[in-house]
Each structure stands twice: as C-alpha cells, then as structure tokens.
Amino acid sequence: MRNIYDLTLKELEDYFISIGEKSFRGTQVFESLYKKRLNSFDEMTNISKEMRKKLKENFSLHKIKLLITQKGDKVNKYLFELEDGNKIESVLMFHNYGISICVSSQVGCNMGCTFCESGRLKKIRNLLAYEIVEQILLIEEETKKKITHVVVMGIGEPFDNYENVLRFVKIINCNKGIDLGSRHITISTCGIIPGIKKFMEEEGQVNLAVSLHAPNDELRRKIMPIAKVYQLDDLMNTIKEYIKKTNRRVTFEYIMLDGINDNEKEAKELVKLLKGINCYVNLIPYNETENIGFKRSKEWKILAFYDILKSNKINATIRKEFGGSVDAACGQLRANN
C-alpha cells in the first residue's frame, strides 16, 4: 500500500479523477496533510465518508518513527527509524535568517568519500519521497517551529536517488502544502554529471551545491572515488553549461583538510579553476571523527586560503560551524544509536 505522503498534488488530483470525483478533492486532501497536519483520514471531514473509506483502502498514513533527539547549541540532531527498521539522521539548525534542516536521501552512501563518516555505511537503499518529506513533518511537529530552508545534504548522494529526491522537492515546494520556496531548497551532489544534466532541465529555482574538495584530479581521486568516474574538466564543463542554461549561481563545497588540500598551492589552483564562473565557495572546517584519520586545517590556514580566494575575486565564505557537540556537523551523520 502506497504512503500518501509520497504523492504530489497532481497525483492526488489524478487519483480522485480516476475514481470519478472532481480534482479539487485531491487539493483538499493535500491541504489536510500539509496545511492542517491531520494525522488520520477520519479527521478529513471536508470529504465524504465514502471518499475517506477509499483513501484508507488505497493509501497508508504511516509515518517514520522519531527515536532520539540530541540538542546542542543552535542545533538539534534527530535519529529516525524507517518501516523496515533502517535508520537515518537529520539535522536542524537555527540561523539568524531562519531555521534550516539537512535531510538524508539514502540509507547509507556508496560515494565513499574518505573523509566522510556517513560513507562508512554502504548504501542499503534509496529513501522514498515520503521518507524524506516526513523528516520535515516530524521535526516541525517536535519543535513547533516552521522550517524555512532545506538542504538535501545528509546521508546519501541525492543524484543517486534522483527521482525520489525530485518528487520530494515537488511535494515540499507546492503552495498548497509545505510551500517552501525553490530558492530555499538546495540539493548537494559530489559531482554526478548525468544528474546535473537532468537537473538543469527541471523547472524552478532550486539551488545546486557541488562537493568539490580539491582543485585537481589527482588530489580529488585520492579523497573522492567519484572523481575516478567523472573527471574534473568534464564536471566543470557541465557546471558551466548548467549556469548558462539556468542563470543560477552554483555553490562549491570545500572541506579543509590539514596538509591535504589547504595549502597556498591548492588555493591558487582553485582560483584558476573557478575564475569567471558564477559561483561561490563554501570553505568548511573539517569535523574530525574517531574513525577517520583526517585532521582539521589550522585556523590560520583556513583564513589564508580564504584571503587568496577573495583577493582574486572568488566569492567565498567560511561555514559557520553547527553540530559538532552532537556529532551532527558536516560529514558526521551516520545513523548510529
């Protein structure tokens, strides 16, 4: 039985048409789920008992289960259990501009980035759209606060689960439901070129972030196995094509690893690589874990790297750190109890 949170508004409208009803009944149900946050079909009293009966026969309202909440300074981490017993994590961050959530898109991850704790658990399966949507619903229910920004940057590679992630985006972007603006949604990829090519054909203004982490192929292959499949020249040409077609700026994520990719040499190579591209670089101080041997760049090296980028007119920021105290920072999600 399909979970009703897996349906877009159009699919709900089409369902009601298929049973001989008006399409607006689908809108009523969609609004009941996302505007009114009703948790049972019986509560949907704006449709007939017969319609409610058919919904019960055809759809599930089951939600994933929130197991554990860890609270830190301006950050919460959540452990969820899925219907099959697998577990995922999400992170909620409180900013001065709003409240953002980092959602997972897979159980495990096959990308194998050597610095990433999340990748130590190999991919078990893709999340269905409803399992991503419900991360938002359950966290809003727990906090009683409205999430304003979403990043698909938790466990998993979003473009390795393209159809479900785009379905999720359509559901949360719909103005009859959660109504999150396209520009408040960001999808992060480690550089899956076919996914980027498909994404540039999508409507809307959803943001794209690319995990770069190295300015040349030799270094990138050492820390990101995906670079053995998609070379940097091909990736950058695809990014340029994406920007030309969409007129949208791309974010490049760059984790600062001590003695690996944080030297003046790499900074200058990065300047050369990104010169003239409509982008900005998000420098991320590495979050160390007990299972991986990489170390965080020293603060002065991060600042020196930043200065080289800025002095060469490359837009850059140093990511404000969230979540280290509860192992919820970038690269630390693993879905452990």
**Residues 315, 281 contacting (CB under 8 angstroms):** yes
C-alpha dihedral sign at 118, 121, 122, 123: negative
Rounded to whole angstroms, the Cα distance separating 287 from 194 reads 30
Domain boundaries, given as residue ranges, for the chain: 2-60, 65-326
**Residues 258, 291 contacting (CB under 8 angstroms):** no
Catalytic annotation on 89? yes
Q: Which CATH number fits domain 2-60: 1.10.150.530, 3.40.50.880, 3.40.47.10, 3.40.30.10?
A: 1.10.150.530
Phi and psi dihedrals of 93, rounded to 5? -125, 135
pTM metric for this prediction: 0.93
- Nearest Cα to Cα of residue 153 among 114, 89, 109, 103: 103
Residue by residue, pLDDT tens for the chain (337 residues) are 999 999 999 999 999 999 999 999 999 999 999 999 999 999 999 999 999 999 999 999 999 999 999 999 899 999 999 999 999 999 999 999 999 999 999 999 999 999 988 777 899 999 999 999 999 999 999 999 999 999 999 999 999 999 999 999 999 999 999 999 999 999 999 999 999 999 999 988 999 999 999 999 999 999 999 999 999 999 999 999 999 999 999 999 999 999 999 999 999 999 999 999 999 999 999 988 877 889 999 999 999 999 999 999 999 999 876 544 544 444 444 455 5
The alpha carbon of 181 is separated from its chain's Cα centroid by a whole number of angstroms, namely 15
Q: What per-residue confidence (pLDDT) applies to 328?
A: 43
Task: Report DSSP state, residue 296.
Answer: B
- Nearest Cα to Cα of residue 160 among 130, 200, 188: 188
Asked if the 65-326 domain carries CATH number 3.20.20.70, the reply is: yes
Catalytic annotation on 43? no
Task: Please tell me which residue in 116, 190, 279, 330 is annotated as part of the active site.
Answer: 330
- Nearest Cα to Cα of residue 260 among 307, 221, 214, 317: 214
- Nearest Cα to Cα of residue 101 among 156, 138, 127: 138
Q: What per-residue confidence (pLDDT) applies to 277?
A: 97
Task: Please tell me which residue in 13, 89, 131, 134 is annotated as part of the active site.
Answer: 89
